[in-house]
Amino acid sequence: MSITDYLDNLNKNNFFYDFYNEILSFENIHFIPAVRFETALFLYNTTFLNKPLTILEIGFGSGVSSFFINKGLIDSKIMPNSFISLERDNNRFNRGKRLIEKYNYKNIELLNIDAFYFLSQCKNGFDFIFLDAVKREYIQYLEKLKTILNKNGILICDNILFNGKIVEENISPKYKNGVTLLKEFNDTICKDKELNTFFYNIGDGLSLSIKID
């Protein structure tokens, strides 16, 4: 057994694993990408400890990430001033609205809108941003996200390892452009002087950036 498997088995012995699977199984009518369980735990712990008051999520998807972020806030006894999650897929949006109603997480404002359009209109600042969108578009998000991230705010980006393809030598032509753009994003964000960025081998890879300027 690997260390990763050992730790996974330990983590799965708590309430959160059942909570994770409940969210995934809700109206499971078609495949919806979801953050991995260890990523969900990381999001819970980050918001539990950091207690952000303004939150933006780009990519609601299955709802796992939103709900673990929100659970961290609830358990820390901090309710945010605003929690906005964006989802442009109609089926995922409609399922998400019903899921939010089931758990009575009505503080999550789920919007059926393209993220780039939302960001072009956004004037508000955020203490916490979670980016879980199309990987090849990450580099396009970066400058705008920096402008709306408050000082000392946290930006977490998921899937920065692209299922390990980021380090493969012989990449399929199907994924080559996506890997190139994601590498550009990783290289750019790690060198950005406005951010302190750290990378973690959690789930499919996470970056955590703190705005310092």
Q: How far apart are CA 108 and CA 11, in angstroms?
A: 26
Q: What is the mean pLDDT of residues 93-116?
A: 96
- pLDDT of 102 over the 70 cut: yes
Identify the residue whose tokens are 């609601």. 60
pLDDT tens string 134-187: 999 999 999 999 999 999 999 999 999 998 888 888 888 888 898 899 999 999
Q: What is the CATH number of the domain that holds 97?
A: 3.40.50.150
- When divided into structural domains, the chain yields a total of 1
Across the strands, what pairs with 210?
154, 196
Q: What is the pLDDT of residues 63-97, one digit of tens each?
A: 999 999 999 999 999 888 999 999 999 999 999 99
Q: Which of 55, 60, 70 is CA-nearest to residue 35?
A: 60
Q: How many residues does the chain have?
A: 213
Neighbours of 205 (CB within 10 A): 20
pTM of the model: 0.95
110: pLDDT confidence band, cut at 50, 70 and 90? very high
Q: What pLDDT sits at residue 20?
A: 95
Spatial contact of 139 and 184, defined as CB atoms under 8 Å apart? yes
- The range of the structural domain enclosing residue 101 comes to 3-211
